[in-house]
Amino acid sequence: MGLIDKAEETVTKHTPQVISALGRVKFFLLVIPILSVVLGILSQFLFPERNVATCSFKIGSFATPANPVPVPLASETQLKARLRATSVQLREEYPTFLLIGTIIDGDVVTPTVSGVGPEKSIAFLEKVIEPEINLHNGRLEKLQAVQADRQESLERQLAELQKLEDELSSSDLAPESPLELLAIQIGLDNTRDRVAKIKLELTTLALFNASDLYIDKTLIVQEPRTVYSSKWTRPLIFGAIGLAIGLAIIIVIAATSIIRSIFRRHSSKKDSDEAVEGENELTE
Q: Does the structure show a pLDDT above 60 at 15?
A: no
Burial degree of 164 (CB within 10 A; 0-12, 13-18, 19+): middle
Angle at 117 between CA 116 and CA 118, to 5 degrees: 125
CA distance linking residue 131 with residue 86, whole number of Å: 8
Phi and psi at residue 25, to the nearest 5°: -105, 20
**What average pLDDT does this structure show over 82-108?**
92
Are the C-beta atoms of residues 142 and 159 closer than 8 Å to each other?
no
Could you report the per-residue pLDDT of 228-256, keeping only the tens digit for each?
887 777 777 777 777 777 777 767 766 77
| Ranges assigned E (strand) in 79-186 | 98-105, 108-116
Summarised one tens digit per residue, pLDDT across range 25-63 is 566 666 767 777 777 667 666 677 789 999 999 998 888
Output DSSP code: residue 27: I
Highest mean pLDDT: which of 110-119, 187-196, 205-214, 230-239?
110-119
- Give Cα 199 distance to the centre of its chain: 45
Planar angle of CA 181, 182, 185, nearest 5 degrees: 85
* Average pLDDT of the chain, as a whole number: 77
